[in-house]
Amino acid sequence: MKTIVFKIIPFFALLICLGSFWAGCGTANTAEEIQTHNMVAEVNGKAITKQDLENKIESLKSKNSFELNGKSYKQVPDQSTSEYILFQKDVAVALVNDEVISTEANKMGVSVSNLFDRVTASVPKTTDADVQAFYSANNFRTFHVRHIVVADLATAQEGAIVNSGV
C-alpha cells in the first residue's frame, strides 16, 4: 500500500505543476491584461509602452551618433540584426531612467536640468593633466585583446592548450 501512495503523490504533484503552467499561458482577456502586454516597463505606476519605445528609436534615427546607458552608437542598428534587440533593451532602460529622474525632480519641485546641476555641483572638474598623472602614477599597461569564435567549448579548450604550448 505504501508503494502505491509514494508513486501516486509525485504523479499528482506533476499534474498540479502542469496545470498551473497551462493556466498561466493563456491569452490576454481583460483590458488591463491587454495593456500589460503592450507595456515595455512600468515606473511608479506609469506605463512605458511599445509605442514610447518606437517613438524614442525613431527620434534617434536622425542623429549621427548618440549614447545610451554608457554605450556609444553611431546609428540605430538594422532591425534584422541581433544587435537591434540589445539596442531596444538599451532604449527601454534609458526610458525607465528618464522617468525615474523626472519623477525625482518633480518630487523635489525642480526641473530635470536643475536636478542635474545640483547633483553634479559637488563633482570636481578633471583635466587631461589629472587623468595623465593618474595613469602615470598607477603604472597602467595596455593590452591588445582579440576574440576568436569557435564552434564549441571543446574546440576552444583545445585551442587554448595548443596556444599555451602545453
SS (H, E, C) 65-129: CEEECCEEECCCCCCCCHHHHHHHHHHHHHHHHHHHHHHHHHHHCCCHHHHHHHHHCCCCCCCHH
Per cent of the chain over pLDDT 90 is 28
Asked whether the beta carbons of 74 and 65 are under 8 A apart, the reply is yes
Task: Report which secondary-structure segment, H or E, holds 42.
Answer: strand 39-43
Give me the half-sphere count of Cα atoms (radius 13 Å) on the Cβ side of residue 42.
8
* 134 backbone dihedrals φ, ψ, rounded to 5°: -65, -45
Rounded to an integer, what distance in angstroms lies between the CA atom of residue 121 and that of residue 26? 52
Identify the pLDDT of residue 131: 87
Q: Specify the residue for cell string 587623468.
A: 131
Task: Report which secondary-structure segment, H or E, holds 48.
Answer: strand 46-49
Identify the pLDDT of residue 54: 93
Asked whether the beta carbons of 96 and 49 are under 8 A apart, the reply is no
Cα dihedral 47, 48, 50, 54 sign: positive
Rounded to an integer, what distance in angstroms lies between the CA atom of residue 117 and that of residue 89? 28
Identify the pLDDT of residue 35: 55
**For residue range 93-140, what is the model confidence (pLDDT) as tens digits?**
999 999 999 999 999 999 999 988 988 888 888 899 998 888 888 877
